[in-house]
Structure 1
Amino acid sequence: MRRRSLLGLPLLAGAAAGCETYRSNDAVPPVVSHPPPSASAPSGSAAPVTSGGGPVPLEPGKVMLGAYVDLKGRSANAGIDLRRRQLGRAERIVHRYYSFTDQLPVSLAYVSSKSTLMISWRGPEYKDVNGGGSDKLIARAAKRMAQRKKPTLMRWAWDMNRDFYKWGGPANNGDTKGYIQAFQRIHRIFREEGADNVAWVWSPNWNSRPDEDWNTYANYYPGDEYVDWAGVSGFAQTQSPGDMFDAFYETYAARKPIMISEVSAVDRGGSTKPDWIASYAEWIKAHPAVGASVWFDTDTHPSSRENWRIDSTAATLAAYKAMSNDPLFAG
């Protein structure tokens, strides 16, 4: 299922809502200065993890660069093949979206042997999981994942700290504990069905809406034993990468490998988008617990006029290719 059939538009990560196209000639905010990965951790912060990730392990010194690719006028296979030809490499992570009642894929022809599939699996209301009424559906999904016999990333009920979706805390009477209970229940059923090839990605948005204490992403954390990757999504308007991701990194990098699980930037004219990509690459280099980055590479979202593609302009593609060709990302 394409993301277009999911509820809402959790893309514009700043305070503004809606689907406007943002343009200006403002300079991209600079990356906050950080020490290089080889330097000592700053005072007051713990050293990042150097392992973890479960069935999809963190590779120290490498960042898995992947994308959700959905390009106007092209099938998924054709879009992913275009990116392979443009970048000279396969996507390390192929990201796809499925509804809770969809039959999850045992195999996908466009996921090569060099790629790992990441499934963003839509959630229902918490009561539909926690009451046991979905146990059979969850077990069927788990059995299909076990049949894949390949390491697979599972990103269940993402952006739960925003008011976009029926699986978010705001749509469930602020019941953050209900989210945790549902995540843990699904995790347990997958384990019981032998889906030990699944790596679990817990993935809030970088900023919460509503911005209230009860709705902070930390209140949704299922616990270290249930999370393989701590993921975070963010779509930049005027924010620098550090504005969006520093706090999350500082909170979880000593516990889990970090994934930037959905990311792109608004083109505000001039060189703003390619400059942001260059800043983003530098931010990742300075944060060695980041082991994966997944771009939202599409121009088909029906509620957005923004072109999130990596080739929205020649300069944008050149900036993304430069990141892809960097040895840190080229694995």
Structure 2
Amino acid sequence: MNRRRLLGLSALAALPLAGCKTYRSDEVPPPIGSPPAPSPSATSSAGRSSRVLLGAYTQLKGLTTAEGIALRKKQLGRPERIVHRFYSWTDALPTSLPYVTSASTVMVSWRGPYYKQVNNGSSDKLIAKAARRMAQRKVPTMLRWAWDMNRDYYQWGGPSNDQDAAGYVTAYRRIHKIFGDEGADNVSWVWSPNWNSYPDEDWNAFPNYYPGDEYVDWAGVSGYAEDQTPGEMFDQFYETYSARKPIMITEVAVTDRGGSTKPDWINAFHQWMKSRPAVGAVCWFDTDIHPGSTEKWRIDSTAASLKAYQAMSADPLFAG
């Protein structure tokens, strides 16, 4: 079996997928092993026959990356199933990461350039070098290229590229092909728009950026909650892709609006996942030092928030 399938469709092959309607972060990092195969005995009330990989991007004030990951292992009683790290377009992607054990899988979020820098062939050597480094890992690795492309945050977003969603698709496919040519078949491809498009215009809707089923192993979506419910944020995406791909919530966190709002949202998110059997992975944005933000997205910003997250993590739904 092609190794990238271990972290893509076949990882959830036993899932009874739901029906379908048509329709951010940073630092140098982490190695990895593949997650356990789905257990036939691991079922939930939703009829799920595979567990959910619960992981995080962890970067905490006053701690190194390794120390932050060790703290979470102590608090949760298990390692993160996915260790999420961010890289710039010209960074050397990691062939190994000393603070990641074989119990975890690395997800590399790789920033992009303007589309023309990929589509005109001028970046082919850079892409090929990155692909060879990923192949050197020799273990399943998730690659999330140019995420949140349907927002105006980044130079790789459609709004920064003359509203050219098709140009994103062309660039994604070119990178995918080069990785294949270089033998990086241990890479599992995570396509990941934001839950809401900005500007909210037809040309910028997330389906316009979809590269196609043969180029995507995980359909991922990111979202940071304020007063939205998990369903308001993620149901449309879920309904669009859940019959075709395993779903990953690639970046998620919630603003603390005081009182019990943050633990309440974590509890609601927990329940949302339990009733969505195509969800196969979740990565919390676990940090309090994100550039340009004063929000404490970390899971232990309050004792009640940590307790809610620990309860979610301890659910048999998640791989331990």
Q: Which band: TM-score by shorter chain?
A: 0.7 to 0.9
Q: Measure, in 2, the Cα distance between the counterparts of 1:289 and 1:202.
A: 16
Q: Measure, in 1, the Cα distance between the counterparts of 2:136 and 2:185.
A: 11
Residues 213-265 of structure 1: per-residue CA shift (max 9 Å, x gap): 00000000000000000000000000000000000000000000000000000
1:39 offset after TM fit, Å?
Answer: 9.8
Q: Measure, in 1, the Cα distance between the counterparts of 2:200 and 2:214.
A: 27
Mapped pair 1:240 → 2:223:
no
Alpha carbons 1:58, 1:291 under 8 Å: kept = no
Alpha carbons 2:17, 2:243 under 8 Å: kept = no
Alpha carbons 2:35, 2:104 under 8 Å: kept = no
Match of 2:59?
70
Match of 1:167?
156
Match of 2:8?
none
Task: Describe the SS at the equivalent of 1:68.
Answer: strand
Q: Measure, in 1, the Cα distance between the counterparts of 2:17 and 2:82.
A: 30
CA separation of 1:58 and 1:180: change in aligned 2, threshold 3 A: farther
Q: Which residue identity is paired with 1:192?
A: D
Residues 177-224 of structure 1: per-residue CA shift (max 9 Å, x gap): 100000000000000000000000000000000000000000000000
Q: Measure, in 2, the Cα distance between the counterparts of 1:272 and 1:108.
A: 36
Alpha carbons 1:56, 1:153 under 8 Å: kept = no
1:56 offset after TM fit, Å?
Answer: 7.0
Alpha carbons 1:58, 1:257 under 8 Å: kept = no
Task: Describe the SS at the equivalent of 1:95.
Answer: strand
What does residue range 69-218 of structure 1 map to in structure 2 within 5 Å? Answer: 69-218=58-207
Mapped pair 1:319 → 2:308:
yes
Match of 1:20?
none
1:275 offset after TM fit, Å?
Answer: 0.6
Q: Measure, in 1, the Cα distance between the counterparts of 2:245 and 2:152.
A: 26
1:77 offset after TM fit, Å?
Answer: 0.5
1:329 offset after TM fit, Å?
Answer: 1.1
Match of 2:280?
291
Structure scoring higher RCO (CA < 8 A, sep ≥ 6) equals: 1
User: What stretches of structure 2 of length at least 5 have no aligned partner?
Assistant: 1-14, 23-33, 39-48
- Name the % identity: 68
Residues 9-57 of structure 1: per-residue CA shift (max 9 Å, x gap): xxxxxxxxxxxxxxxxxxxxxxxxxxxxx99967x759xxxxxxxx879
Alpha carbons 2:135, 2:184 under 8 Å: kept = yes
Q: Measure, in 1, the Cα distance between the counterparts of 2:100 and 2:198.
A: 34
Mapped pair 1:219 → 2:208:
yes
Alpha carbons 2:219, 2:241 under 8 Å: kept = yes
What does residue range 228-267 of structure 1 map to in structure 2 within 5 Å? Answer: 228-267=217-256
CA separation of 1:229 and 1:301: change in aligned 2, threshold 3 A: same
Residues 73-122 of structure 1: per-residue CA shift (max 9 Å, x gap): 11100100100011010000000000010000000011111000000000
Task: Describe the SS at the equivalent of 1:163.
Answer: coil
Structure 1's consecutive aligned runs of 4 or more residues displaced over 3 angstroms after TM superposition are 38-42, 55-60
Q: Measure, in 1, the Cα distance between the counterparts of 2:180 and 2:66.
A: 31
Two-structure CA RMSD over aligned residues (Å): 1.8
Q: Which residue identity is paired with 1:126?
A: Y
1:330 offset after TM fit, Å?
Answer: 3.6
Q: Which residue identity is paired with 1:306?
A: E
Match of 1:27?
none
Q: Measure, in 2, the Cα distance between the counterparts of 1:119 and 1:40.
A: 26
Q: Measure, in 2, the Cα distance between the counterparts of 1:288 and 1:128.
A: 38
1:301 offset after TM fit, Å?
Answer: 1.1
Q: Measure, in 2, the Cα distance between the counterparts of 1:183 and 1:106.
A: 22
Q: Measure, in 1, the Cα distance between the counterparts of 2:136 and 2:111.
A: 20
Q: Which residue identity is paired with 1:232?
A: V
1:302 offset after TM fit, Å?
Answer: 2.4
Task: Describe the SS at the equivalent of 2:106.
Answer: strand
Task: Describe the SS at the equivalent of 2:168.
Answer: helix
CA separation of 1:139 and 1:56: change in aligned 2, threshold 3 A: farther
CA separation of 1:80 and 1:56: change in aligned 2, threshold 3 A: closer
